[in-house]
Structure 1
Amino acid sequence: MTGWTAVVPVKPWTLSKTRLALPGDARERLARAFALDTLDTLVESRHVTSIVVVTAEPEMAAAAAGVPGTVVREDRPMLSRDHLNAAIRLGRSWAVGRRPGAPVVVVPSDLPAMRPEDLDEALVALGRHDRAHVVDADGHGTTLVAAARPALLRTAYGRGSGATHRRQGSTIELDVDPRVRRDVDLPEHLEQARHLGLRPHALAVVDALVARVGAA
């Protein structure tokens, strides 16, 4: 199945990856790198036709301005207690109005090892179902969530989201590359993603951090 719409919720850098204990502004630089790598992966994907970036981060909005799709700006992103799912609903609304018959996938901006070919293979697998999701590498959370059309898309990101999505009628899809399942919230996740192979922006930031630690 081709012609996918990808919805990408992106927090402002200063609000992202707060559980990564990194020196100085490294956390913000890493969040930025993750998001830019995600955008590059989507642009290079053979199956993604339209990209909907939902963000209040000006730099991300500027970076996404030239890609096929749109930028949906969040004015006050942290007013909602359920910010991530609220952002996704904004992207879903855009897709319902503009591409109602196209398959849609939510792509979090913290899959720094995922390559375009990994995403494309995952989309083929997810496209076999009306609604499906990919559980994260730890088996409890969720990375990708997909639906055959935007009206069917429903997300429940948060604690235990893998099981919640399943209870909501979404099919678990495990026939994906490990890079699609390795999101990054904790330092050990970053090390695992590094072992899988980071994409260029994230690799540059992590290499600089390693060099700084080695020189200390």
Structure 2
Amino acid sequence: MVEPSWTVVVPVKRLDAAKSRLRGALDRVPHESLALALAQDTVAAALACPLVGEVLVVTADRTAAESLRALGARMVPEPPQGGLNPAFVVGAARAAGRWVAALTADLPALRPVELAAALRSAADDPGMRRFVADAPGTGTTLLTAPPGVPLSPRFGVGSAAAHAASGAVALPAVGPTLRRDVDTPADLVAAAALGLGGHTTALGLGGHTGTLLEPAAPVYGADMQGTVATFDPQLRSGTLLLDDGTQVEFPAAAFDASGLRLLRLGQRVRIEHDDAGGLTRITLPTFR
């Protein structure tokens, strides 16, 4: 039996805005270099997977596009509205009629054999969307759809539950490198323990040229404000660009506590937080 050939879609944010919680994680390494290396190792592993026929990278970042095209990926322009889920939808549309896999760009330890095993398992159910939860079990690193079935991505805060609620079924017995996404310095250490790809390794993680640092917990002012960078009305979560330049994610609970029905991209908001720095409520600046 001939195994299907997959199109893998990998959205990559602008490097200066990607992976904000990793900013400053590596001493003497520019943040953009780290964000790019994570994406390079992810894409390189996908391209090396024997079941993958094509990797589509959805990005608006010129540096990322040039680097990932050099690896063999094909570029797709980022949609005007931005956001992770719209990027996956645009990429999947380019692969209409084919097996499609949505893969996050932060899997620097990914091994092609583990991706192949997951895709092979997903292909056993030709009428069903399948997903892989991240290491903590709350997020998603991979979502698959067979030909003729919409991808319907629900990436974001709590995406594993959101994908399950949408009818996708979790893939069992998935290898650890496919689940080990990197959002924080601790995640990067965990990925290093599994064995990083060449691009991230070249930055000197654990070696002589780069020292892993643990940034201080975010400290937000009593009246910190920012603008809405992304918002998924189905998940009721998204990201904010604070006035100090920090990009932070907000969960559905913070939106639900606001009493608002919708957030628009670019809308000004005020955040409230707990003593640990977690976002607890989003309001409009005039609300108290």
**Coarse TM-score class (shorter-chain normalised):** 0.7 to 0.9
- Which stretch of structure 1 is more off in the superposition, 9-18 or 148-157? 148-157
1:118-162, CA deviations, whole angstroms, 9 ceiling, x for partnerless residues? 111111122223210000000100000001126421110111100
1:11-42, CA deviations, whole angstroms, 9 ceiling, x for partnerless residues? 11111110114156532111110111122112
User: Is contact 1:10–1:35 with CA below 8 Å preserved after alignment?
Assistant: yes
1:189 to 172, 187, 190: 187
Question: What residue in structure 1 maps to residue 108 of structure 2?
Answer: 112
Question: What residue in structure 2 maps to residue 137 of structure 1?
Answer: 135
Aligned mates of 2:206, 2:79 — CA distance in 1 = 33
Give the counterpart letter for 2:46 in structure 1. L
The answer to whether 1:9 aligns with 2:5 is no
Aligned mates of 1:192, 1:150 — CA distance in 2 = 37
> TM-score, normalised on structure 2?
0.66
Question: What residue in structure 2 maps to residue 175 of structure 1?
Answer: 173
Aligned mates of 2:165, 2:197 — CA distance in 1 = 33
Question: What residue in structure 1 maps to residue 38 of structure 2?
Answer: 34
Counterparts in 2 of 1:212 and 1:180: CA distance versus 1, 3 Å: closer
Aligned mates of 1:177, 1:162 — CA distance in 2 = 17
User: Is contact 1:21–1:187 with CA below 8 Å preserved after alignment?
Assistant: no
User: Is contact 2:100–2:144 with CA below 8 Å preserved after alignment?
Assistant: yes
Q: How many residues align?
A: 206
1:65 match: secondary structure: helix
Question: What residue in structure 2 maps to residue 61 of structure 1?
Answer: 65
> TM-score, normalised on structure 1?
0.87
Aligned mates of 1:131, 1:75 — CA distance in 2 = 23
User: Structure 2: 5+ residue runs without aligned partners?
Assistant: 213-288
1:56-90, CA deviations, whole angstroms, 9 ceiling, x for partnerless residues? 111222234366663111275xx44xx00011111
Identity of aligned residues (%): 35
Q: Which residues in structure 2 correspond to 1:62-77 (within 5 Å)?
A: 62-65=66-69, 70-74=74-78, 76=80
2:94 match: secondary structure: helix
Aligned mates of 2:75, 2:210 — CA distance in 1 = 35
- Which stretch of structure 1 is more off in the superposition, 181-190 or 18-27? 18-27
Aligned mates of 2:166, 2:18 — CA distance in 1 = 27
Aligned mates of 2:21, 2:159 — CA distance in 1 = 18
The answer to whether 1:52 aligns with 2:51 is no
Aligned mates of 2:72, 2:35 — CA distance in 1 = 22
User: Is contact 1:135–1:174 with CA below 8 Å preserved after alignment?
Assistant: no
Counterparts in 2 of 1:211 and 1:50: CA distance versus 1, 3 Å: closer
Q: Which has the larger radius of gyration?
A: 2
How much does 1:51 deviate?
1.4
Q: Which residues in structure 2 correspond to 1:154-173 (within 5 Å)?
A: 154-173=152-171
Counterparts in 2 of 1:20 and 1:209: CA distance versus 1, 3 Å: farther
Q: What's the RMSD between the two structures over aligned residues? A: 2.1
Q: Considering Cα pairs closer than 8 Å and 6+ residues apart, tell me whether 1 or 2 has the greater RCO.
A: 1
Aligned mates of 2:68, 2:205 — CA distance in 1 = 25
Aligned mates of 1:194, 1:64 — CA distance in 2 = 22
Aligned mates of 1:192, 1:28 — CA distance in 2 = 21
1:90-119, CA deviations, whole angstroms, 9 ceiling, x for partnerless residues? 1011112xxx1x211011110010011111
Aligned mates of 1:14, 1:25 — CA distance in 2 = 13
Give the strand-richer structure, 1 or 2: 2
